[in-house]
Amino acid sequence: MVAFLAAAGVLAAPRDPFPLDRAAEQWVAQTLKKLTLDEKVGQLIVPSFESNYLSTDSDTFDALTRLVREYHVGGFHVFGASIPAPSVLLNSGYGTVILGQPMSVAFLVNRLQALSSVPLMNTSDFETGVGFRLFGATSFPRQMAMGAIPGDDGLRLVREEARITGIEARAVGVHVNFAPIADVNNNPRNPVINTRSYGEDPARVSALVSAYVAGARDGGMIATIKHFPGHGDTDVDSHLGLPVVSFDRARLNSVELVPFRRGVDQGAQAVMAAHIELPALDPAASTPATFSKPILQDLLRRDLGFGGIVYTDSMSMDAVTKLVSPGEGAVRAFLAGADQILHSPDPIAAFNGLKDGVTTGRVSQAQIDQSVERVLRAKASLGLHLRRAVDLDAVPAAVGGRAREAIAQEAFTRAVTLVKDDRKSVPLAVPRETPVLYLSVVDYPAGWQIAAPSRTFIPELKKRWPQVTAIEVSDHTSASDLDFVRASVPRYGAIVASVFVRATSGSGRMDLAPELVKLLKDLARVTERTNTPFVTCFFGNPYTASFVPELPAMLLTYDFYDPPERAAVRALAGEAAIGGRLPVALAPQWPVGFGLDRPAR
């Protein structure tokens, strides 16, 4: 049966995202038949653990054991560590991430798998690769940086990213990745998606989502397209409140839903529901998509023909915790159409809520069986019915390494985008002995920990131009110190600034302080009079560049930390070609797809 768009009046054909062989089908049927009600309800609960070393004789391990043995949970969500080792505490751009260790995860997963009567199917947010959570694994650029890599090269690198992430995730016992983000970020004030999106062009976002889903399949991992039905045009962080998307169905069909439709058609096996309210799809007040039957069943299941697993977003986010208790939240999400209740603030309360719902008749046994069957089919498709433990001896060869790092570095390099170069200063052609003033312009100093801005840029710059004077300024810098910077400019033969601005969950901030914007504009005027090269590199929120159009030369990386800083210096020095293209519009003169080319010299 040919699938047509529901908007055209014809429903999409349902599809099976978990095709199984005969033996696997038998395992699913036999397992489902023998499960008790408690065991079935448990399969729908996904609590979390942190990837620290964990003694068997500890309260935390006892709690995890209880969740497996007494509550029969379907799997665990893997976070980073809670106790930082030196050099592994990073700010993710939307919250502090403490990186865990691959061996700690793999070892703990094996111990928990051995306790479980049904294989566990574990999840994680490896949005930029397994290195996003685990130290030593491969880290790729943020999705917006990947979206800046033009043409087929972008599709190739996204698919390869997903394949590598799948291999590394499976090596440590994680089976489901909550990526790719299919949100179309067409709101510059979006505080939670921003650089996590591939961009604002629905067609390009769709193509990259499709490439990621295919690559995840190559790597043996289940990809999850999120945050359905589209979190890109919001200006409220759902970690803090309930965003409202007020567009009509026609607009949603032409923008927000396009990448999700493409991902489902590509065979995506999981979808994550967003904690966002969409009155055009469900007029019920204070009803996020997570709790909406019209969105999860009518739109996603019926209209888009999705037959895979529906995950909630974290049920610990304020968008839902301020609305309902953990038990009621689990029931409402399940009734709406979710199969897996993720990261509840109280997983036991979530379990009890669902079980009580069945015994009182509020939740049907048939719907429980249907969701459990999907979960079991997913587990069988991963081969967990045959082998659930990971090979600990294989982890060092399967996770990280120079070959994969080289692929990731290629992506960081190809993403660099030159949007302006009025004085032809890029690449920087001043002699090696030229005194260079380097400014690290930081949104605010807190939260960076040891992943301090410019920690790689400064030493890399000094390798090329040894006479570098480095100064950091932020919203805490005094007016007199900023005046000192202005007065110092004539002493230098070139000025390089790096601007670091986060769109960070929980901070409520995503801008550069006005006094720092004024400083950059003043430097542009001063260096214009003296014809001094002045190049600004932007890290993180790319929309910051639109507030300083007077700057003579601007490079964008869409990311933070060592690899993009290294890539920016190489581009500045002419050691790498520049060919990135804007995945989002910054101004009328800088539309989507714009970018200046510079060959390597």
In this prediction, residue 3 has a pLDDT band, given cuts at 50, 70 and 90, of: very low
Q: Which of 399-413, 465-479, 506-520, 532-546 has the lowest mean pLDDT?
A: 506-520
Which DSSP helix (H) or strand (E) runs through 260?
helix 257-266
Peptide bond into 239 cis (omega under 30): no
pLDDT band of residue 318 (cuts 50, 70, 90) is confident
Instruction: Tell me: cis bond preceding 459? Omega within 30 of 0 counts.
Output: no
3-state helix, strand, coil in the chain (%, to 5): 40, 15, 45
User: Pairing between strand 123-124 and 96-98?
Assistant: unpaired
Buried b (16+ CB within 10 A) or exposed e, 401-417: eeebeebbbbbbbbbbb
* pLDDT single digits (tens) 50-67: 998 999 999 999 999 999
Distance from C-alpha of 554 to C-alpha of 418, rounded to nearest angstrom: 6
- Is 391 an annotated catalytic residue? no
Please enumerate in sequence order all residues whose Cβ is within 8 A of that of 349, keeping only pairs 6 or more positions apart, or say none.
325, 326, 327, 330
Q: Could you please report the per-residue DSSP string of 532-546?
A: --EEEEEEE-GGGGG
Any residues with CB less than 8 A from the CB of 431 and at least 6 apart, and which?
Answer: none
272, 231 Cβ separation under 8 angstroms: no
Distance CA 80, CA 98 (A): 5
Contact 116/169 with Cβ under 8 angstroms? no
- Written out in words, the top-level CATH class of the domain with range 416-572 is alpha beta
- Average pLDDT across the chain, whole number: 93
DSSP-derived 3-state class of residue 225? strand
Q: Which of 10-19, 280-289, 393-402, 465-474 has the lowest mean pLDDT?
A: 10-19
Phi-psi region of 48 (alpha: psi -120 to 50; beta: other; left: phi over 0): beta
Alpha-carbon distance 538 to 148, whole Å? 14
Give the active site residue among 201, 233, 237, 313: 313
- The whole-number pLDDT of residue 239 equals 62
Largest CA distance in the chain: 81
Residues 284-310 have pLDDT tens digits of: 988 999 999 999 999 999 999 999 999
- Beta strands at 417-421 and 553-556: parallel, antiparallel or unpaired: antiparallel
Among 49-63, 75-89, 101-115, 281-295, the range scoring the smallest mean pLDDT is 75-89
Output the DSSP codes for 531-584. Answer: T--EEEEEEE-GGGGGG-TT-SEEEE-S--SHHHHHHHHHHHTTSS-B----SS
- In terms of Cα–Cα distance, which of 561, 442, 480, 435 is closest to 89? 561
pLDDT for the residue 242: 76
pLDDT in tens, 176-201: 999 999 999 998 888 788 999 999 99
| Known catalytic residue at 313 | yes
Intrachain domains 22-402 and 416-572 with the same fold: no
* Spatial CA neighbour of 111 closest among 389, 327, 311, 340: 389
DSSP helix/strand/coil, 240: coil
Half-sphere exposure of 45 (CA within 13 A, CB side): 30
Domain 22-402 CATH class label: alpha beta
What pLDDT was estimated at residue 449? Answer: 64
Under DSSP, is residue 80 helix (H, G, I), strand (E, B) or coil?
Answer: coil
Q: Which of 175, 227, 231, 239 is catalytic?
A: 239
Domain boundaries, the chain: 22-402, 416-572
CA distances from 487 to 480, 483, 495 (A): 10, 6, 13
Query: Which residues does 17 contact at the CB level (< 8 Å), separation at least 6?
Result: 267, 268, 269, 306, 307, 308
For residue 500 the two structure tokens come to 């670091």
Entry pTM: 0.94
